Amino acid sequence: AETGYDLWLRYQPVEAQWRERYAARVTHFTAADGPTMLAAAGELRRGVAGMLGYDPARREAVTGDGAVVLGTATSPLIAPLGLPLTRLGAEGYLIRSAVIQGKRVTVIAGNEEVGVLYGVFRFLKLIQTRQPLDGLDISDAPKLRVRVLNHWDNLDRYVERGYAGQSIWDWQKLPGHKDPRYTDYARANASIGINGTVLTNVNANADVLRPEWLAKVKALAEVFRPYGIKVYLTARFSAPIELSGLKTADPLDPQVAHWWKAKVDEIYRVIPDFGGLLVKANSEGQPGPSDYKRTHAEGANMLADALAPHGGTLMWRAFVYAAENPDDRHKQAYAEFQPLDGKFRDNVLVQVKNGAIDFQPREPFHPLFGAMPKTPLLMEVQITKEYLGFATHLAYLGPMWEEALQADTYRPRKGMTVAKVIRGVAGVANIGSDMNWSGSQFDQANWYAFGRFAWDPEAKAEPIAKDWAAMTWGNDPAVTGPIVAMMMASREAVVDYMTPLGLGHLMATGHHYGPGPWVSDLARPEWNPVYYHKADAGGIGFDRTATGTNAAAQYAPEVAANFADRKRVPERFLLWFHHLPWTYRARSGRTLWDELIVRYDRGVDAVTGMEASWKALEGKVDPRRWAEVRDFLAIQRDEAGWWRDASIAYFQSVSKRPLPAGHAAPA
Ligand code: GCU
């Protein structure tokens, strides 16, 4: 039975009317040896076997029509064609229908072998999505250099904020046993162009830097290497103390710098193409340079200097907010990092969450984007749905990422969207040991979409959903149509039933799954939902204009003016920036109180609608996956109702306003 293990690489047989057409274009193939070319060839064979039902032969030469010619610019069959490959960079590819020695062939070429691998996945996708293979002239290259997953995986296989089982890294059996699943993981990532993976949690355990663990990391790196995926690790800033008994981890102490240099040299002896280190410092209790009164730049640069001789990268997170800082949490990362622009080494990437605070269902873009022009920034998103209903709630995150990437920073001028100012993307993985990898069938779409947006931050969520749906659920438009419609509306539904109108951080303590807008007794004020919604008898919302914390002023003047004006701010951010009376008129003409309730109802209705759409697909998709989705939608429907009813009941206890006519009281 279908479990979802094959992800979007299911390679199911094509319909009869396509089979002959495709088979004529893939009669045999040519490819050099070399690990990445073998991976590319292996994928081609696997895809053709699944979709067309035969194993295409590998030949030394083109022996007839229908050859697929795999190779780089210097391959003997490809070099004479003079293809315009140079502008495609190290990872781009070109797929072209061509004639070689009088035979009609398809060339899949890249400057490097990894481009060929990416090209093969694209070629197979043409078949998966029933595109013609004639007259092909496709070229593509990633727009961003850094496209990495961040696994928040602990060494004991517990995945922080993971909802898909244990970590897939089976450390106990490594390096002796390389689970074939690691190869499937690499295939899935390569199919969407992901080129790096941070294996360990940002709340880091220094032990992974010990020699016996590095041997395990090396084994994973060996599996991933042919697929163009580099391995990275998180570094605990206090590791010199914990692993070697140094008295300090002060980044300006020569002994400390020496320790890291030796450690990094050791890592590169074990893994010559190691990607680099990722650090969460002085955030939520993690050690860091501030412990020694040093700046983030001083901390990052010390590690960057150790990595630089090896070509390694240091990713340093900007997710900081301090218990002792009474200022609006929205403002803290900007306040701390923006003044450091220009102070980081060239091989430092500052990793900034997409939103100003923390992975909420909706947030305005982080004010650091565009504000550090001398520092390459990564945008970090959470693929795992910590704040969007874990794996049971269906929420396709493509529209959320499109919204963040298309936000205009106006820095230095209009049109400079987040997509245009970043150098790369990091995604907190939603991958675990569950049979279906992501905890649910539909959460696979978020992994898929992450890769697509990392490859092309100008991409659009809907065509990505269409591709995914066709590859994952089959090509019947009667199936993909409703599925794409469900996906495209799903994230907005979650926003509506959890955090409508620009609210955020209303989740219950610790797990962040259910509602908790009433929570007010946590030691750190900025962990309490009441800190964020500020609802009282008079109204609701967080005043981040000049009369409040003035966080809006961290954005470019044009953006700030927009956010700070209650008439111009997009309604989706209304209560993020404004505290307004319950009687305030929403754009619908309703009072804010009534509008809030309309949004909660709308969210629940959207889930009921998804459930009905899915029920209508019974028998059109395989029963096991269908039943899993049906069950999860029922859970989501119940819990959307729980979110709505609990939230409204709480807000009513402060607003003291009657429920509007037409709102169904909770059952
Ligand atoms: C969130 C999340 C934590 C995580 C943190 C981070 O706050 O709840 O589990 O460690 O983000 O991004 O570092």
SS (H, E, C) 483-497: HHHHHHHHHHHHHHH
- Does residue 508 have a pLDDT over 90? yes
Could you tell me which residues are beta bridge partners of residue 453? none
Q: How far is the CA of 368 from the centre of ligand 1 (A)?
A: 19
CB–CB of 376/350 below 8 Å? Answer: yes
107-125 residue pLDDT tens = 999 999 999 999 999 999 9
Q: Is 245 left (phi over 0), alpha (psi -120 to 50) or beta?
A: left
Fold adopted by 146-463:
TIM Barrel (3.20.20)
CATH of 497-542+579-655, one of 1.10.1740.10, 3.40.190.10, 1.10.3720.10, 3.90.1330.10: 3.90.1330.10
551-580 residue pLDDT tens = 999 999 999 999 999 999 999 999 999 999
Query: Residue 638 has what pLDDT?
Result: 98
Question: What pTM was computed for the model?
Answer: 0.98
Q: Which atom, in ligand 1's list, is nearest to the CA of 380?
A: 12
Give residue 254's pLDDT band: very low, low, confident or very high (50, 70, 90).
very high
Q: How far is the CA of 168 from the centre of ligand 1 (A)?
A: 20
Amino acid type, 281: A
Query: Residue 322 has what pLDDT?
Result: 87
Residue 48: CB atoms within 10 Å: 22
Helix (H, G, I), strand (E, B) or coil at 247: coil
Q: Whose CA is nearest to atom 1 of ligand 1?
A: 358
Could you tell me which residues are beta bridge partners of residue 594? none
Query: Residue 10 has what pLDDT?
Result: 98
Q: Which atom, in ligand 1's list, is nearest to the CA of 201?
A: 10
DSSP 392: T
How many whole angstroms separate alpha carbon 69 and alpha carbon 531? 61
Sequence-separated (6 or more) residues with CB below 8 Å from residue 43: 117, 120, 121, 124, 187
Sequence-separated (6 or more) residues with CB below 8 Å from residue 289: 237, 250, 251, 281, 282, 295, 296, 298, 299
Given ligand 1 and candidates 237, 315, 319, which is best to mutate, with the most ligand atoms within 8 Å of its CB?
319
DSSP 88: G
Helix (H, G, I), strand (E, B) or coil at 198: strand
Rounded to 10 degrees, what is the CA torsion of 656, 658, 659, 660?
-130
Is residue 284 part of the annotated active site? The answer reads: yes
Rounded to 10 degrees, what is the CA torsion of 150, 155, 158, 159?
0
Share of the chain above pLDDT 90, in %: 97
Instruction: Please report, for residues 40, 85, 109, 400, the alpha-carbon distance to residue 100 in angstroms, rounded to integers and kept in the order given.
Output: 21, 18, 14, 45
How many whole angstroms separate alpha carbon 86 and alpha carbon 74? 12
Spell out the alpha helix ranges (H) of 53-106: none
Token readout for 296 is: 């983030």
- Which ipTM value was assigned to this complex? 0.98
Q: Which atom, in ligand 1's list, is nearest to the CA of 386?
A: 8
Q: Which atom, in ligand 1's list, is nearest to the CA of 202?
A: 13
CB–CB of 427/379 below 8 Å? Answer: no
Alpha-carbon Rg for the chain, nearest whole angstrom, is 26
Fold adopted by 16-140:
Chitobiase; domain 2 (3.30.379)
Residues touching ligand 1 (Cβ under 6 Å) are 160-161, 202-203, 280, 284, 319, 358, 386
Could you tell me which residues are beta bridge partners of residue 517? none
Q: How far is the CA of 360 from the centre of ligand 1 (A)?
A: 12
Q: How far is the CA of 430 from the centre of ligand 1 (A)?
A: 14
141-151 residue pLDDT tens = 999 999 999 99
Q: How far is the CA of 169 from the centre of ligand 1 (A)?
A: 21
Give residue 228's pLDDT band: very low, low, confident or very high (50, 70, 90).
very high
Q: Give the length of the chain.
A: 667
Query: What is the sign of the dihedral through the CA atoms of 285, 286, 292 and 296?
Result: negative
How many whole angstroms separate alpha carbon 488 and alpha carbon 470? 15
Query: Residue 660 has what pLDDT?
Result: 87
Q: How far is the CA of 377 from the centre of ligand 1 (A)?
A: 19
How many whole angstroms separate alpha carbon 461 and alpha carbon 453? 8
CB–CB of 315/307 below 8 Å? Answer: no
Q: Which atom, in ligand 1's list, is nearest to the CA of 161?
A: 9
Q: Whose CA is nearest to atom 2 of ligand 1?
A: 161
How many whole angstroms separate alpha carbon 333 and alpha carbon 425? 18
Query: Residue 666 has what pLDDT?
Result: 62
Q: Which atom, in ligand 1's list, is nearest to the CA of 382?
A: 12
Sequence-separated (6 or more) residues with CB below 8 Å from residue 490: 394, 395, 396, 442, 606, 610
Q: How far is the CA of 599 from the centre of ligand 1 (A)?
A: 28
How many whole angstroms separate alpha carbon 102 and alpha carbon 89? 30
Q: Which one from 386, 403, 434, 443 is the annotated catalytic residue? A: 386
Q: Which atom, in ligand 1's list, is nearest to the CA of 203?
A: 10
Average pLDDT, the chain: 97
Compute φ and ψ for 335, nearest 5 degrees: -60, -35
How many whole angstroms separate alpha carbon 542 and alpha carbon 544? 6
Segment 277-293 mean pLDDT = 97
User: Cis omega before residue 412 (within 30°)?
Assistant: yes
DSSP 145: S
Is residue 250 part of the annotated active site? The answer reads: no
How many whole angstroms separate alpha carbon 291 and alpha carbon 236? 13
Token readout for 92 is: 């781009």
Compute φ and ψ for 562, nearest 5 degrees: -65, -50
Spell out the alpha helix ranges (H) of 534-591: 557-564, 574-577
How many whole angstroms separate alpha carbon 574 and alpha carbon 514? 23
Q: How far is the CA of 651 from the centre of ligand 1 (A)?
A: 27
Strands 313-317 and 539-540: unpaired
Q: Whose CA is nearest to atom 7 of ligand 1?
A: 358
Given ligand 1 and candidates 284, 286, 380, which is best to mutate, with the most ligand atoms within 8 Å of its CB?
284
Token readout for 510 is: 């610790």
Is residue 386 part of the annotated active site? The answer reads: yes
Q: Which one from 273, 284, 327, 631 is the annotated catalytic residue? A: 284
- Does residue 598 have a pLDDT over 80? yes
Helix (H, G, I), strand (E, B) or coil at 441: coil
452-497 residue pLDDT tens = 999 999 999 999 999 999 999 999 999 999 999 999 999 999 999 9
Nearest to 532 by CA among 519, 514, 550: 519
Q: How far is the CA of 372 from the centre of ligand 1 (A)?
A: 23
**In the chain, domain spans:** 16-140, 146-463, 497-542+579-655
Query: What is the sign of the dihedral through the CA atoms of 103, 108, 112 and 113?
Result: negative
Query: Residue 505 has what pLDDT?
Result: 97
Segment 441-448 mean pLDDT = 99
How many whole angstroms separate alpha carbon 177 and alpha carbon 187? 19
Q: Which one from 65, 358, 462, 622 is the annotated catalytic residue? A: 358
Q: Whose CA is nearest to atom 12 of ligand 1?
A: 319
How many whole angstroms separate alpha carbon 55 and alpha carbon 141? 29
